[in-house]
Amino acid sequence: MNKKLVALFAGAAMAIPMVAAAWAPQGDVTMIVAYKAGSGTDTGARLLAADAEKNIGQTLVVTNLPGAGGRLGWTQLTRAKPDGQTIGFINLPSFTTDVTKPGCPYKVTDVTPIVNHLLETGVVVVRADSPYQTLQQLVDAAKEKGNLRASTNGVEKSNHTAAQLLAKSAGFKYKAVPYGGTADQLLALRQGEVTFSCAKLGDVAKLSEGDNPTYRILGVFSPKRLSEFPNVPTLGELGFYPNWYGSARAIVAPKGTPKEVIDFYVEAFKKTMEDPATIARHEKSGLSMAFMDNEELADLIKKQEIFSRDEITQLYKK
């Protein structure tokens, strides 16, 4: 090739603008769940992860790190390298409530919002063979006996807060018995160690239906009755806590994760959560998807931080 032609090709190559490739994960992506396998968060995470892999292009490895009511897993998540290869779930308001406690090793700003996945309404449940057929009967018994036991998913965690909202608004005292998470909390109820529990609808819905149910749902933390259980009253109908209360289950990344990484995951999870097959699988599992992008999730986290600081802390004052 003559020198003039070489120079022509070299000049042409230099004139071609270099376009940076869009970010994508390289290899398996770790998805941290701060609760044990079989918990409500874990069930939803595994369902979403399986469906999202086609849009992410890599395997999502759900890694359970239970302990200390979520703190162990969230500590690992906030300390992970912000390179997009590690993401995970936070539960609201449990995460923001934990931040208000002395000695918490992380702050709200130590996570970067990606998307919200689930929005789960709180419910009051007893065993299906419980003598309490209605929430009013349970409340009356609690007032009369004054020592009914309720299992929770940890001290001042989301389901403990639900029990506090019920007890404070209905005017009764009870004994809160903390367990390591919702799965253990509900196991305690099934085994008869406690009289009642407060959980999320997705944790108990499928086991509260049919000819041989495990649980009986007595009330819901919602201004309106739920379409899935139209015969179950709201707490407000009985003159108790009138507002919605439940849990958001959201995906975040460690602080400092670049914008292009967050944008990639927002788009991937959005496509996944809009897929009719994914929607159907969530509905079959009794899980209520509620997509929010990173900006909407950031706003929700901020509001939950205020709620945790200004309202939830008041529930536990002697």
pLDDT in tens, 38-71: 888 999 999 999 999 999 999 999 999 999 889 9
**pLDDT at residue 92 tops 80:** yes
- Supply 19's token pair: 């376009």
CA torsion, ordered 134, 140, 143, 147, to nearest 10 deg: -50
Distance CA 51, CA 98 (A): 31
Start-to-end C-alpha separation, the chain:
89
Tens digit of each residue's pLDDT (9 = 90 or more) over 166-219: 999 999 999 999 998 898 999 999 999 999 999 999 889 989 998 999 999 999
Cα–Cα–Cα angle for 101, 102, 103, rounded to 5 degrees: 115
Distance CA 251, CA 34 (A): 12
* Average pLDDT value for residue range 125-150: 96
- Determine if residue 213 is left, alpha or beta; phi over 0 gives left, psi from -120 to 50 gives alpha, anything else beta: beta
Q: What are phi and psi of 266, to 5 degrees?
A: -60, -50
CA–CA separation, 16 and 20 (whole Å): 13
Residues 6+ away with beta carbon under 8 Å from 52? 60, 268, 269, 272
Q: Can you give the pLDDT at residue 266?
A: 98
- Element housing 34 (H / E): none
Q: What whole-number percentage of the chain has pLDDT above 70?
A: 93
Q: Count the Cβ atoms, other than its own, within 10 Å of residue 73.
A: 24
Q: Is the pLDDT reported for residue 14 higher than 60?
A: no
Gap between the Cα atoms of 80 and 59, Å rounded: 18
Mean pLDDT of all residues in the chain? 92
Beta strands at 29-33 and 111-127: parallel, antiparallel or unpaired: unpaired
- Give the angle subtended at the CA of 29 by the CAs of 27 and 35, to the nearest 5°: 155
Which of the four pLDDT bands, split at 50, 70 and 90, describes residue 15? very low
pLDDT for residue 5 is more than 90: no
The structure tokens listed for 15 are 């004139």
Q: Give pLDDT, residue 178.
A: 96
Q: Which has the closest alpha carbon to 293: 256, 252, 258, 257?
A: 252
CA–CA dist 40, 50 (Å, integer): 16
**What pLDDT digit, counting tens, does each position of 148-164 carry?**
999 999 888 899 999 99
User: Which amino acid, residue 313?
Assistant: T
